[in-house]
Amino acid sequence: MILKGTPASQGRVKGTARVVVSLDKIDKFKKGDILVTKATSPSWTPFIHASSGVITEVGSSLSHAAIVSREYGIPSVVGVKDATKLIKDGQEIEMDATNGIITIE
């Protein structure tokens, strides 16, 4: 399956998706996972920094996730409709954040 969104921070990464809908569920996230969430705020910054990629359901190239991802050089795609429903926790995915494409294996 292929999902599309808005490129927010360029790059390409392949890895394990961690679907986290709120910070009280962040305990399953491990350094290097691809963070998949609805949206981020400043309190999410340490997890963005520890991720290998970021996918959000909402946001634009000026959203928090996009700005922080660019600052840290982490591939990011925002505005991916239903990402937290279509991507399963622990699933292997590939992100082409330069073109805003997520491939679910």
Q: Which residues are catalytic?
A: 64
Using CA atoms, how far apart are residues 73 and 53, in angstroms rounded to an integer? 9
Q: CA distances (Å), 88 to each of 34, 46, 51, in order?
A: 12, 22, 17
Residue 9 contacts residue 99 (beta carbons within 8 Å):
no
Classified as helix, coil or strand, 105 is coil
Residue 102 contacts residue 15 (beta carbons within 8 Å):
no
Tokens of 4: 């599309």
